[in-house]
Amino acid sequence: MSISKRIEEARRAFSRKDVEASARAHTPERILQEAEERHGATSHQYIGDMVYGGLDGIITTFAVVSGVAGAQLATKIVLILGLANLFADGFSMATGAYLSAKSEQEYYEREWAREAWEVEHFPEGEKAELYAIYRAQGYSEEDARQLVEIHSKDPKLWVRAMMIDELGLMEDEKKPLLSALATLVSFVVAGSVPLLIYLIGLIVPLPTSIEFPMSLILSAVALFGLGAAKVLITELNPIRSGLEMLLVGGLAAGVAYAVGALLKGIGG
């Protein structure tokens, strides 16, 4: 049983106020199994990179397509600008995801090293800090002291407690390179949807008049689908999430189309 499935069952039970279903999701056996499977189960953490990378890919590429269509430029211009944007922006986003994840990881490791050094060299001071934190959180004097004693028995648990309770830092197990790869692949794959009809037109001649409308329909479907898929991270209503993303993408495309239409004289 995966972590996400148990939690999802608990959420559904809560939404229905189903006490029995909630109890089944919180049995000691289920919780223990979840804890055993948790280590190394990080693939779900890349869903966010994939969803948001895909959404950005569709929106930015379709904005380019809309701008070119508004300017009434040739199909080859759509493909040149669209593909250039697709790969350049995809690489840029992947690089950003990599550097962001790597920076957060390095910051966490640096703070861990500092806390570990302080625990080793100034244990009483660190105990006092942890005690003050627990008191500030509302624990009684006795409970705060007991929590400090429990955590300070194991240096690793002690440092982790300092990281969470003092610094508010949680370890992110995502690998920066995989995060970047997930972003790049999803951006390119989803971002190619608005260009799909134009690419097909290179093989099978299509009326120019249907290219942009078909691109619009395909992009709208993809935007709604990815917006709905966003609930895997946000846990919101999929229909509402899909419509919101469709609206955002539509506004971006509308602005690009309007700019293209206003400047179409420049393109010749």
pLDDT in tens, 153-193: 888 988 898 888 888 888 877 788 988 999 999 999 988 99
User: What is the predicted pLDDT for the residue at 41?
Assistant: 46
28 pLDDT higher than 80: no
User: What is the predicted pLDDT for the residue at 1?
Assistant: 35
Count how many Cα atoms sit within 13 Å of the Cα of residue 22 in the half-sphere of its side chain. Answer: 8
What secondary structure does DSSP assign to 106-161, as a single string?
Answer: HHHHHHHHHHHHHHHH-HHHHHHHHHHHHHHTT--HHHHHHHHHHHTTSHHHHHHH
Output 261 or 45, whichever has higher pLDDT.
Answer: 261
User: What is the predicted pLDDT for the residue at 266?
Assistant: 65
C-alpha 162, offset from chain centre: 27
Mean pLDDT for 11-34 is 70
User: What is the predicted pLDDT for the residue at 87?
Assistant: 92
Q: What is the mean pLDDT of the chain?
A: 81
Q: What predicted TM-score, i.e. pTM, was given to this entire model?
A: 0.70
Percent of the chain with pLDDT over 90: 11
40 pLDDT higher than 50: no
The count of other CB atoms within 10 Å of the CB of residue 198 is 21
Distance CA 227, CA 216 (A): 16
